[in-house]
Structure 1
Amino acid sequence: MKKYFWLMAFAAVLFTSVARAQCQPATDAQTASYERVVKALQSQFKENPPAGNWRIFDERHSLGKLEVSDEYGKMFRPCGDRYDLTLERGAAARERRARIDSAVAQADPTRQETSLVLSTDSVYKQAEPARARELGQNTVDINVEMNVANYRLQEPESNRFVDNYKAVQVKNAPMALQVSLKSVGDSGGLQPRPETVVFLGNWKNNLKKDSKGNMVYHYSFAKGGNLVENLVVTIKGPLDVAQEIIRKTDWQALSQTLIR
C-alpha cells in the first residue's frame, strides 16, 4: 500500500511538472487584457458579495505573475489565466481560518486544511459527512476560466458525470446553465454542489456528445485566442445564493472587458 502511495505521489509530481512546462510568460498585451478582466471581476464579485454575513475566505489570481498556455489538445489549463474567489458565511470562515492558523503556528502539516472543493468537478468531501454538508451550505466558490476552447459539461475521464442540466436566462449573457452532478468515487454519498455557469463572449449552443460519454461546448475564437475573448463563470454553492450573485452582477460590464 505504501509503495502504491509513493508511486502515485511521484506520478502526480511528474504530471504537474510536465503541465507547468506548457506555461509561457505572458506578453504585455496579454497581461493588460488579463488584468483588465480581473479588476472587473473583483469589482463585481469581491466588492459586491451576497447579502448576509458572507466573507472572503480565499482569492486566487495571477496579477503581476501571469503565465499563459494554449488549451487545444490539453486536458486542463495549468497556468494562471483564471480567477477564483471563495466566500464563506462569517462563522464558518472564522472557524476554519482559526484552525488553519493554529496548524500553521504549530507547524503540524497533518492538521492543515486545504480547499474544500476540487475545482475540476466540484466534488467536495470531509471526514465527517455532517460537517461536509454544513460547509457545503456555507461555502460559495466563484471560478472564472478565460479563453476556454471547450467547456466540458460531462467528462468521464475526470469522473465528471451530469445528473441533469438546464438552460437559464441571464441578462447580457449569451448562454447560462444550471448543472447538477452525480456523486462518484469515494465522496461518501455526498452530492456535489450545484453549479450555475454563465458564458460570456461569442458562445453558441452547440453541445456535442460522443460515444465515450463526453458532452462538450466548443468555442471558435474570432481573434486567435491570444487575448481574453471569452469567460466561463462557474458559481458552486446553494442555488439561492448563486441566483443572488447573478442578479447583482453587471454582466454587460464584464462582457465589455473582452476582446471583440
Structure 2
Amino acid sequence: MFSLHGKTAVITGGGSGIGEAIVRAFARQGATVEILDLDEAAASRVAEAVIQEGGQAGSSSCDISDAASTAQVIQGVAARWGRVDILVNNAGIAHVGNVLTTAEADLDRIYRVNVKGVANCLKPAVEIMAKQGGGVILNMASIAGQMGIGDRFAYSMSKGAVLAMTYSVAQDYMKQGIRCNAICPGRIHTPFVDGFIAKNYPDRQAEMFEKLSKTQPIGRMGTPEEVAAAAVFLCSDEASFITGVAYPVDGGTLYLR
C-alpha cells in the first residue's frame, strides 16, 4: 500500500525541514523526486542522499516568487522525467507579528512567497497534469489558517489563502483527474522552531521548548516525518477518493484544545 512507484513528484522547499522529510518519504515509496529550493546547495545535498540510498532524485534552484522562472523549472522537470504526477507546495516563510507590528514590507514578503509562490507553482503543474490526464497536488497550509493564533497576522493570512487556492483547484480540475488537498500542520519540531527559541529566549531555551510542546493537546510537537507520512497517504492511489480537504496533522490542536 501507499506505493508511489512510477510517479514523478516535484517538492518545493525540499532542502530542509518538512520538505526534506517529504522528499525522503516519497523516495522510499518509489517516487522519482525533484527538489525545488532557493538554497541550491541544500536541494543538491538532499538529492544526493536520496540517490545514495538507491532512489531517483534531481534538484533545481528555484525562486517560487518569480512566475516565469518557476514555470520554466517545472516544465523542465516534466521534459526531463516525462511527466509530473505530484506537486507538493511546501516552500514557505514565517513571520511573527500582529496587525500593528506587521510592516507593509513584511506583508509583501509573506504574500510574495506563501501566496503568489504557491500560485506560481500551481499554474504550470495544473497545465501539465491536465494534458497528461491527471495528477495530485498537495499544498502545505497550517492550522494558523483555520484558527486564531497570537502574533501570526501575516502568516495566518497567507495560509488561509493557501486553503482557498486548494479548494478552488480541487473544484475546477476534478474532471481533469486532478486531486488537490492541503495538510495543516500544528507546531512541528523543525530547525525554524529551534532558531526561534534560541533567538527570542536564549537563556530559557529548554523551558520554552517544553512550554511550546505542551500547547498541543497531545503534549508534544510533531515531527517532520509524521507530516511526511500524511503526505505519502494523500498523494497515493489509496487516497483517490479524497480531494478538496484540509487535513490537520496537529496533535489535536484544532479540535481538542
Fold equivalence (TM over 0.5):
no
TM-score by structure 2 length?
A: 0.28
Larger-gyration structure (1/2): 1
Q: Which has the higher strand share?
A: 1
Q: Which has the higher helix share?
A: 2
